[in-house]
Amino acid sequence: MSEFGLRIATGVGLVVVVLVGTLMNTIAFAFVFGGIGLFCLIEYFGLVFSHNEANTINLVRRILGIVLASLPFLIVFFLLKNEETTTSPAIFGSIIIGVFFMMLFEMFANSQKPIKNMGFTSLGIFYIGIPFGMLLLLQDMQSPKLILGMILLVFMNDSLAYLTGRSFGKTPLFPRISPKKTWEGAIGGVIFTLLLAVVYTFVPLFNFLSLKDWLAVAVIVAIFGPLGDLVESMFKRNLKIKDSGSLLPGHGGFLDRFDALIFTIPFVTMYFWLT
């Protein structure tokens, strides 16, 4: 099968998984997106700590990073399950305590690069951990169907930008970070993402939101999704790797596939908090 065929097949499989997670129940939602977040964290910490010596201490450092970055998701899940609405103090306090434990670990491990290691771990918490925790808050605040619609918008933007850029792309968008991305592709992604948002208002599954709200989500996706993809490309270029992993044929790793969603979540959540 060609690379494009693998990309399509894997994309269809991911859509099926997302459908299960968003349309069944809250436990399925937490299981699916908690799993996606976990794989993203495993890839992230595997990459950023690959420069350290491969020993037991570095393995513990990776595990500690994954645990700390998983705290926001786990705390939000249990607070929502117990119908607690004031999640911020618990999340904030747990992250602060976790960061202190991270500092103590680097001290007792006699690390040669403690500040660098702590920086990588802190970035994992804010870059991946907190957005997935916010995803739980967003589905509780609105509806899991909003998450499904948002993810389909992300997939639409990414796929149509890829296809448009492949067919008509000539003008580099950000050659220093991602030479293959073009302005033509980005514009194509924006147009089709906005069109899908309009279509949502005629689909019973998604018309619980107004056209204004879906267009707002689409604009956020069209702006911050590609930026999230470029940020991850910046990380990979700095680390001198092509893909974050190899678990998703045609897409690379989980972080490669969900980088745009991760970057979009906080902005969509803030939109609904403020409106």
pLDDT tens for 1-15 read 566 667 677 777 888
Distance CA 212, CA 272 (A): 12
How many Cβ atoms are within 10 Å of 165's Cβ, its own excluded? Answer: 22
Mean pLDDT in residue range 21-39: 91
| Residues 79-105, mean pLDDT to the nearest whole number | 76
DSSP 8-state assignment for residue 120: H
Amino acid letter, residue 205:
L
Cβ proximity of 105 and 64 under 8 Å? yes
Q: What percent of the chain has pLDDT over 90?
A: 52
Model confidence band, residue 138 (pLDDT cutoffs 50, 70, 90): very high
φ, ψ at 175 (rounded to 5°): -60, -30
Q: Is the pTM of this model over 0.85?
A: yes
pLDDT for the residue 101: 87
**pLDDT at residue 174, as a whole number:** 85
Evaluate if residue 52 carries a pLDDT over 90.
no
CB atoms < 10 A from the CB of 151, how many?
Answer: 23
Report DSSP letters for 170-204, one per residue. -SEEETTTEEEEEHHHHHHHHHHHHHHHHHHTTST
Contact between residue 18 and residue 6 where contact means Cβ atoms under 8 Å apart: no
Indicate the DSSP class of residue 125: I
Residue 16, CA distances (Å) to 151, 232, 250 in order: 12, 25, 17
Q: Of the ranges 84-93, 187-196, 206-215, 247-256, which one carries the lowest mean pLDDT score? A: 84-93
Which residue is associated with the tokens 């911020």?
88
pLDDT at 217 over 90: yes
Find the largest Cα–Cα distance for the chain.
60
Residue with tokens 């910490």: 45
Q: Can you tell me the distance from the alpha carbon of 38 to that of 174, in angstroms, rounded to the nearest whole number? A: 30
Give mean pLDDT, residues 106-125: 91
User: Helices (DSSP H) in the chain: which residue ranges?
Assistant: 3-23, 26-48, 56-81, 88-108, 114-124, 130-141, 144-168, 183-200, 211-239, 254-274
- Is the pLDDT confidence value at 237 over 70? yes
User: To the nearest whole number, what is the mean pLDDT of the chain?
Assistant: 88
Q: Tell me the mean pLDDT in the region 36-58.
A: 90
Would you place residue 122 in the very low, low, confident or very high pLDDT band (cuts 50, 70, 90)? very high
C-alpha neighbours within 13 Å on the C-beta side of residue 82: 8
